[in-house]
Amino acid sequence: MDITNITSFVPPIRTLMGPGPSDVHPRILAAMARPTIGHLDPRFVDMMDELKALLQYAFGTNNELTIPVSAPGSAGMETCFVNLVQPGDKVIVCQNGVFGGRMKENVERCGATAIMVEDTWGTAVDPQKLEDALKSHPDAGLVAFVHAETSTGAQSDAKTLCQLAHQYDCLTIVDTVTSLGGTPVRTDEWGMDAVYSGSQKCLSCTPGLSPVTFSERAAARIKSRNTKVQSWFLDLNLVMAYWGGSQKRSYHHTAPVNPLYGLHEALVILKEEGLENSWARHQRNHLALRAGLEAMGLSFIVHESYRLPQLNAVTVPTGVDEAAVRQRLLQDFSLEIGAGLGSLAGKVWRIGLMGYASNIKNVMYCLGALDTVLSAMKAPINAGQAMAAAQRVAS
């Protein structure tokens, strides 16, 4: 590429209603523009302590080992696995979508064996199948599952799954990347041992940080390992020397100072709204979106009883080129919705209502744009019905 004419990058203004990232709150963007200071500066250390307390609030935990990993949600996932899984271990992995498969990959890269509990994509993890696997593999030490499966919009019963795991003396690793801040996540009450999330979804922050939290039992297992953690950067025995509770911090890595300002502001906004109010807002906007989509004649792949309000997987009408629809939405309306992944590729759209993007204005804008594009393509929908139906629910 010829770099002669390259100048500053100015991105277009989009409405982000896909599976993530979500729209970033202006307060968060403003926070990230504040002056950079050193990652061992006393004022920055004070902010770290506040950030930890705010994350404990968001996760619903008193866990001492609660930090943001300096990398995206995938690194939060890897942090949990590389610290808790050792070569030769047996880990039960529940898969009901793409991200359960990534858990399996992590287990195997740690030199352990993954015992798979498979459920149909678009359904929740079946507790009976998990219990059957626990009975069949009494030597398993960990159970891993996705609380909110981003590829399908299905939410599993984390409390029940964790209770089962503990009955058989297993620790749990739980993916809350899409659920944290948008639907209830009660780490201590449900007995989740290692939990990871992402900054870019219902927290409305920019991508690049992964909040994690570990129970005392999980922290004890990390400290008592008989092999080194395979990742130096993600080894929590080392990282905690920097994120520990004392004012004296040992250098581990140069923390992403300005993104951490952003996450701090995101969590302050969440605290100001209140967790329960945030959960209610996501549900309220989902119901308006659902009313509009169903009035249009579209359907969801996930049953209402375990459907995520913040991630809506919607079946593509017969004969419609789903990629062409997404392209038109982006080109004509500067609106982003997501495609299906894995076995759902080409079959669904994933419409996000996450964080700052979860508001009635976005609901109406998305429905109006989708109605316009599908009508122009002569798709088999009930044209002109969606926005009125959504408004009736919202008012």
pLDDT for 106 equals: 98
Q: How far is CA 244 from the centre of its chain?
A: 25
The 10s digit of each residue's pLDDT in 25-52 is: 999 999 999 999 999 899 999 999 999 9
Is residue 263 within 8 Å of residue 205, measured between CB atoms? yes
pLDDT for 291 equals: 98
pLDDT for 249 equals: 75
Q: What is the C-alpha to C-alpha distance for residues 358 and 49, in angstroms, rounded to an integer?
A: 29
Buried b vs exposed e over 60-86: b needs ≥16 C-beta within 10 Å?
bbebbbbbbbbbbbbbbbbbbbbbbbb
- Residue ranges for the chain with pLDDT beneath 70: 245-248
Domain boundaries, the chain: 34-271, 274-394
Token digits of residue 382: 């009930």
Q: Going by CATH, does the domain composed of 34-271 fall within 3.30.70.1290?
A: no
pLDDT for 243 equals: 82
CA nearest to 307, candidates 287, 281, 277, 278: 287
Q: What is the C-alpha to C-alpha distance for residues 18 and 362, in angstroms, rounded to an integer?
A: 12
pLDDT for 245 equals: 60
Q: What is the C-alpha to C-alpha distance for residues 204 and 18, in angstroms, rounded to an integer?
A: 13
Q: Going by CATH, does the domain composed of 274-394 fall within 3.90.1150.10?
A: yes
Q: Do domains 34-271 and 274-394 have the same CATH topology?
A: no
Angle between helices 216-223 and 236-243 (to 10 degrees): 120
CA nearest to 178, candidates 197, 159, 195, 191: 197
pLDDT for 240 equals: 83
